[in-house]
Amino acid sequence: MQAFVSRRLPREGAALLAAAGGCSIQQWDSDEPIPRSELLAGVAGKHGLLCVLSDRVDKEVLDAAGPNLKIISTLSVGVDHLDLEEIKKRGIRVGYTPDILTDATAELSVALLLATCRRLLEAVEEVKNGGWTSWKPLWMCGYGLSGSTVGIIGLGRIVPLTKLAEKSDFVVVTCSLTPGTKGMCNKDFFSRMKKTSVFINTSRGAVVSQEDLYQALVSGQIAAAGLDVTSPEPLPTDHPLLSLKNCMILPHIGSATYATRNAMSVLAANNLLAGLKGESMPSELPL
C-alpha cells in the first residue's frame, strides 16, 4: 500500500506512520503548503492521502490520484476543502479529527471574545506607541462578559438566526461551513445585532460576508469583531478589515496547542492506516 502525506506532521503522528509496516509513505516534508503541482504528482497512483485543511481535494486531485485511491485522511475536523460529492461517487472513504480539538478551539473562542470585547490589542498598542498618558475614566472601555447574553451559532438548541442576532450581546460562530451556512452572517444579520454587540468567528471565514462585516464595523452597526478564520487564508495584509481598530484577526489558531495538534496527527495517522488496511477507522466521516 502506498500513501501520500501532504505536510510535515506533529511528532506523534509522524512516528506512527514511520513505524507502520506494509505501507510506503511519500511525504511533502515541510511546514509550508505543498505547491499544487507537487500534490498532483505526489498523489498519483497512491492508495491513501493524508492532507490538511489548506489542500483543496477536488476532481483534479482525485483524477490525478487515479482509481487506486481508497482513503483520504484529513488532519482537521472541517471537511469543506474536500469535494465530498465527488469523493463519495468514487467510493473513497474519509477520515477526519472531530472532538479532540473542541476544548482547544473553545478556549481560543473565549480568549478571542475577551480580547476583542475588552480591546486588549488596541490597549497593548497604546502602551507601545505612547498613547497611554494617564488613567482616564472612559479611555479603553469595552463591553464586559459578566451578565451578558452570548449567542453561539453551532452549539445546542437551534435558535433562528435573526432572534439570536437580536437577543445577543456577543455572537460566537462555531458551526461548519456548508452550502447552507455560507455567507450566513451578512448585512441583514449584522443589521439585527445590537450596536454594542461583539461578533466572534472561529469556524470558517466563508460563513461571513466580510464586506458586510466591514460595513457593520465602520458604520458602528456593531461594536467589534474577533476572527480566527477569514476568507481567503491567509488574509492579504492590505485587506480593509485589517485597517480597523475594532477588528482583531488571528491566523486560524483555534486548535493550536501542542497537545491538540499531536492528538490530531495521531488520529489522522490511525485513520489513514486503518483505511489502507480496509479496517474501520477511529473517526470516519459518514458520507
Among 64, 101, 223, 227, binds ligand DGY (CB under 6 A): 101
CA distance 57 to 61: 6
Tell me how many residues contact ligand DGY (CB under 6 A).
7
Among 76, 109, 246, 265, binds ligand DGY (CB under 6 A): 76
Q: Is position 285 an interface residue for ligand DGY (rule: CB under 6 A)?
A: no
- Phi, psi (deg, nearest 5) at residue 200: -125, 135
6-65 residues in contact with ligand DGY (CB under 6 A) are 53
| Beta-sheet strand order (sheet of 224-227) | 150-153, 170-173, 198-201, 224-227, 247-249
CA distance 35 to 238: 24
Pick 96 or 199: Cβ nearer ligand DGY: 96
Reply yes or no on whether 252 is catalytic: yes
Among 26, 38, 63, 78, binds ligand DGY (CB under 6 A): 78
Query: Up-side HSE of residue 238: CA atoms within 13 Å toward CB?
Result: 0
List the grid coordinates of 11. 511528532
Q: Is position 77 an interface residue for ligand DGY (rule: CB under 6 A)?
A: yes
233-272 residues in contact with ligand DGY (CB under 6 A) are 254-255
CA distance 24 to 103: 34
The nearest distance, CB 101 to ligand DGY, in angstroms, is: 6
Residues forming the site for ligand DGY (CB under 6 A): 53, 76-78, 101, 254-255
**Which residues are designated catalytic?**
252
